[in-house]
Amino acid sequence: MINTYLPQIKSGQSNQFFLMAGPCAIEGEDIALRIAEKIVTITNRLNIPYIFKGSYRKANRSRVDSFTGIGDEKALKILEKVGKEFGVPTVTDIHESHEAALAAAYVDVLQIPAFLCRQTELLVAAAETGKVINIKKGQFLSAESMKFAVDKVKESGNEKVFLTDRGNTFGYQDLVVDFRGIPTMRAFNVPTVMDCTHSLQQPNQTSGVTGGKPELIETIAKAAIAVGADGLFIETHPDPANAKSDGANMLHLDHLEGMLTKLVRLREAIL
């Protein structure tokens, strides 16, 4: 299914950005389908290539009592159902090499979390599934250094790779985005994405719950489009305050259409 999108989103070959969006974590079938239906309606109207995003399991949590998932197979089957019901590709993140084949049986794109982008065994295992691989740039790495992550995937026989920027560590409890990284990573001839929500996280809070600045999501998205990002990554939820994961930096689902409409106009203006 993702192959129908690839010709449209190859770096520098599309007149429109693509979107990876959905809830941080798969919380249940009903809410996943509801979110997907809303976003599909919006992206169809705006002619935005769309990939549904949802983590089947959250491995990187601050506290041991944080929500991690509803069960691996149950969540993966929901992702599969979303893809089939709405005819869109799906993406989920993996954390260990043995998860690659498991997740690849249900989704179209495997995502490598930022903290794990240097894990060679994980990148190779993901590449060997033949799926599209989305690698998030580590908060601790320069854009230039992501060339080596791309090389690991391509040298494993897989040319289908994206890169996603999600900001850089700034002190202990904040992130900043260096927008020079977008053209730098696009120069590797791979689609380059801006994660507009995780880049606004405020990690390592004393409460053990990550904070965020969702009021700046549109600002990050506009800047990313202005510097030529091929795609945007946005976590969204109909009730962020009660979301089971990362609610502090998710976009309210009701705000998505208005923001994307502005971004489409911005994209048209800079071409």
Kindly give, in sequence order, each residue whose CB lies less than 8 Å from that of residue 208, ignoring residues fewer than 6 positions away.
Answer: 62, 63, 66
- Helices then strands, counting H and E runs in the chain, come out as 9, 13
Structural domain of 119? 19-270
pLDDT, residue 15, reads 81
**11 pLDDT tier (thresholds 50, 70, 90):** very low
> What is the structure's pLDDT at 12?
44
Residue 211: pLDDT band (50, 70, 90) is low
Kindly tell me if the per-residue pLDDT of 59 is higher than 90. no
Evaluate whether residue 1 is within a structural domain.
Answer: no
- Whole-angstrom distance, CA of residue 54 vs CA of residue 237: 11
Q: Does residue 13 fall inside a structural domain?
A: no
Q: What is the pLDDT of residues 250-271, one digit of tens each?
A: 999 999 999 999 999 999 999 8
In a domain, 88, yes or no: yes
Does a structural domain hold residue 135?
Answer: yes
Residue 200 lies in a domain: yes
pLDDT computed for residue 67 by the predictor: 75
DSSP symbol at 172:
S
In angstroms, what CA-CA distances link 169 with 111, 172, 232? 20, 7, 20
**What spatial distance separates the first Cα and last Cα of the chain, rounded to whole Å?**
28
- What does the block give as tokens for 189? 């001839």
Question: Residue 205 pLDDT more than 60?
Answer: no
In a domain, 8, yes or no: no
Question: How many domains are there within the chain?
Answer: 1
Q: E strands, the chain, where?
A: 18-22, 50-53, 90-93, 109-112, 132-136, 161-165, 168-169, 175-176, 192-195, 201-202, 211-212, 231-237, 251-252
Strands 18-22 and 50-53: parallel
CATH number at residue 212: 3.20.20.70
CB 234 within 8 A of CB 19: yes
Amino acid type, 267: R
Helix-strand-coil split of the chain, %, nearest 5: 40, 20, 40
In a domain, 11, yes or no: no
Least confident of 33-47, 59-73, 145-159: 59-73
The verdict on residue 2 lying in a domain is: no
User: What pLDDT is stored for residue 19 in this prediction?
Assistant: 97
| Chain mean pLDDT for the chain | 91
The string of DSSP codes covering 200-253 is GEE-S-TTSS-EE-GGGHHHHHHHHHHTT-SEEEEEEES-GGG-SS-GGGPEEG
DSSP type of residue 93: E
Stretch 195-208: mean pLDDT, rounded? 77
- Please compute the mean of the pLDDT values over residues 15-43 and round it to a whole number: 96
Question: Which tens digit of pLDDT belongs to each residue from 128-170?
Answer: 999 999 999 999 999 999 999 999 999 999 999 999 999 999 8
What tokens does 122 get? Answer: 């994980």
- Residue 7 confidence (pLDDT): 47
In percent, the amount of the chain with pLDDT more than 70 equals 90
